[in-house]
Structure 1
């Protein structure tokens, strides 16, 4: 009886030691493993078994496209064709990539939206500065509604904005070497005709209500006369339960604006999940991520803004995850 009792005690101790070892090993998992904990738990809940083997595999890389609905197609296409991303997926045993559209922002009328058409018809400007595809859409719509009045030379920040304007039949006279408002401020030439007439170069700036004053203040410091109209606004998109679920599983979130960054933070604050890595289209969104609590080593962005560089930033984030460095 004593021997039997001792054997029971020994077996109990071994079970306790095994459980303690399991807890200890979990406390030392890598940050990448922690980032995927939610994914693995969901897969366990949903998996079906066949001869003891799981038939459900959870993707290791889950990417969120956060532009407004319907405007994520170009980035998605670039991700699917990026050779570095393909190499990372193929070299990461058992890994897969999932791309989800989770819009963070929606657009609404700005306080000056009704004044844009009237201003185009009644005022002459040397330049019109358009800083985003959405600003291009708002400007072009007002311009067409007013009967396509003559406007000054159009300056577009970035290739995507230039293409958006051309789609409406608007010629672009100037594009800065880098798709930022700060670069446009430095590079936009004053109008020689205005100088010869002894007046300042005038510029119309149809902007987002949330846009910073970088362009306006910078050009005014150079002597431009800037008329800013807040023609549209960006608001936080309301997520469905399905979108919340997708956000919880995201390992890399793609941002094209500070508004999208802020909206992601606002919508994920109440979700029980680790913060995804950030892949930004450029340095403006990078700065917004830093301001909103991301560690610098968890943010990836290209030196020159654009879709291809943005996709490469996603590749860099995936590489960091695959090497368990993030």
Structure 2
């Protein structure tokens, strides 16, 4: 389930950039980017809430959780994707995927600080470093300025993507607490709907406009809404039942998938042998982090 979530999130890198092209969204048109994100997440939230109703679940939020759910939506969805969409517009899909990998480190560090049973161990630290090495390996040697890796850094580009990664990591831990008393599907549905509505409001207030709607652009928006609904709902369920630090290392797969799919659909050059090395390193890092937890679980009566 964790790998599936990462594959879906990785596909968002080329999908967002393709959406910008189809809907004529310039990289400097932040208002239109907010509209694009708002429709995506509002639709994703509606999908989850409708599914919850079809499964005869109550979508009512207890009074004591109304504030946390609204806060989670504005933080993990609105704030995160303000950073993410702006950053992605000012950096290539490849470089954005590298910066996004810092989210795994943020998740492990925050879990170490907040949970006594989720400390950083030498094995976990080695796994994180191995995973990040895989992310770097898949990008090293790309042509400068043509989607490959270089050492330039801008606050509006790579800096915004790093900020988005931190917000996602912190929001996942916040959601873990809320999901203890609220169904993860319902929580995620409201979170995405509230966050998406706020993004729409920002886009409209800033004078955003989208054009070029046709079968292709609508199909792309539908796909992005579906991947958000599925990935966030599954991840919330995983976070509820598993240590945050163990799951965080799977986030290294997101940039690997993002690079592979960006290369496939956006023709951003990445050599095939480096893809294989990257996948091997990332999988090795995941194995290091999860092996100990699996052994502990298997030893229980």
With normalisation by structure 1, the TM-score equals 0.25
Structure with more of its chain in strand, by fraction: 1
With normalisation by structure 2, the TM-score equals 0.27
Structure with more of its chain in helix, by fraction: 2
Between structure 1 and structure 2, the one with the greater Rg is: 1
Structure of higher RCO (CA pairs closer than 8 Å, 6+ residues apart) = 2
